[in-house]
């Protein structure tokens, strides 16, 4: 049995190695440890081993962990966010990865101003085109970005996508490369920098890194299988 810290160190090395193999500086790829369903003690252990960014997909679980753990942890909300949970989400989330409607974007920006917090926001885009409940189409993402007033309060910093589970390698390259190309296009048409590409999970992060991921969201490979 590998310990949690051994798993974490292995993944950390693999992420660096994948960056080097892609001719990239490893410091440009952020490892986000996805701790959903695992107890706060597990987060604490991985935090003690040097990890500071953790991802959760539910607001309530994120808040519960954030309340009991070090305030040096940077929390990323990676799951779908409902309008009525924005206020609660902004209490502890430093990043929100899955903004997927103009209404949600507007609400986050309004409430961020009220609370005077500065979350970083990413648009979730459905590049694969598979039937999926969430995510903007590439055209919708472009339109939304174009319509946004500059917001130093809650800046749009990039794009996020999820690839279908067990997609073939060529398809993964198409999806992740597609997100990068879309980011380049939106950046060119809006003048926004959009440096962040949140893409890649336990099964496909090496391909995502080869295609330019700046944040890989890794759960299972660090914490084990979710029950």
Toward ligand PLP, which CB reaches closer, 190 or 202?
Answer: 202
Q: In whole angstroms, how close is the CB of 73 to ligand PLP at the nearest point?
A: 17
Q: In whole angstroms, how close is the CB of 114 to ligand PLP at the nearest point?
A: 27
Toward ligand PLP, which CB reaches closer, 45 or 143?
Answer: 45
Task: Write the secondary structure of 5-54 as one string of H (helix), E (strand) and C (coil).
Answer: HHHHHHHHHHHHHHHHHCCCCHHHCEEEEECCCCCHHHHHHHHHCCCCEE
Toward ligand PLP, which CB reaches closer, 11 or 182?
Answer: 11
Toward ligand PLP, which CB reaches closer, 190 or 220?
Answer: 220
Q: In whole angstroms, how close is the CB of 217 to ligand PLP at the nearest point?
A: 4
User: Would strands 196-198 and 53-56 be described as parallel, antiparallel, or unpaired?
Assistant: unpaired
Q: In whole angstroms, how close is the CB of 149 to ligand PLP at the nearest point?
A: 28
Toward ligand PLP, which CB reaches closer, 154 or 201?
Answer: 201
Toward ligand PLP, which CB reaches closer, 141 or 218?
Answer: 218
Distance CA 44, CA 97 (A): 23
Q: In whole angstroms, how close is the CB of 188 to ligand PLP at the nearest point?
A: 27
Binding residues for ligand PLP, per CB under 6 A?
A: 34, 36, 57, 78-79, 162, 201-203, 217-221
**Neighbouring residues of 29: CB distance < 8 A, sequence distance ≥ 6:** 15, 16, 18, 19, 209, 213, 214, 215, 216
Shortest-Cβ-distance residue relative to ligand PLP: 219
Q: In whole angstroms, how close is the CB of 215 to ligand PLP at the nearest point?
A: 10
């Amino acid at each position: 049995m590998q310990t949690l810290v051994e798993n974490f160190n292995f993944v950390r090395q693999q992420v660096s190695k994948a960056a080097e193999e892609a001719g990239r500086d490893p410091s440009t790829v952020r490892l986000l440890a996805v701790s959903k369903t695992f107890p706060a003690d597990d987060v604490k252990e991985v935090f003690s081993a040097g990890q500071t960014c953790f991802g959760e997909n539910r607001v309530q679980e994120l808040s519960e962990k954030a309340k009991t753990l070090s305030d040096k942890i940077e929390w990323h909300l990676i799951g779908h966010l409902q309008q009525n949970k924005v206020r609660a989400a902004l209490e502890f989330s430093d990043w929100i990865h899955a903004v997927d409607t103009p209404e949600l974007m507007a609400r986050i920006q309004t409430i961020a101003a009220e609370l005077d917090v500065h979350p970083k926001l990413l648009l979730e885009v459905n590049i694969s085109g598979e039937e999926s409940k969430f995510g903007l189409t590439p055209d919708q993402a472009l339109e939304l970005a174009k319509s946004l007033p500059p917001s130093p309060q809650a800046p749009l910093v990039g794009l996020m996508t999820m690839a279908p589970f067990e997609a073939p390698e060529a398809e993964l390259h198409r999806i992740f490369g597609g997100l990068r190309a879309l980011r380049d296009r939106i950046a060119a048409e809006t003048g926004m920098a959009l440096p962040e590409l949140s893409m890649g999970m336990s099964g496909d992060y090496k391909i995502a890194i080869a295609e330019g991921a700046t944040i890989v969201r890794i759960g299972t490979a660090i914490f084990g299988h979710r029950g």
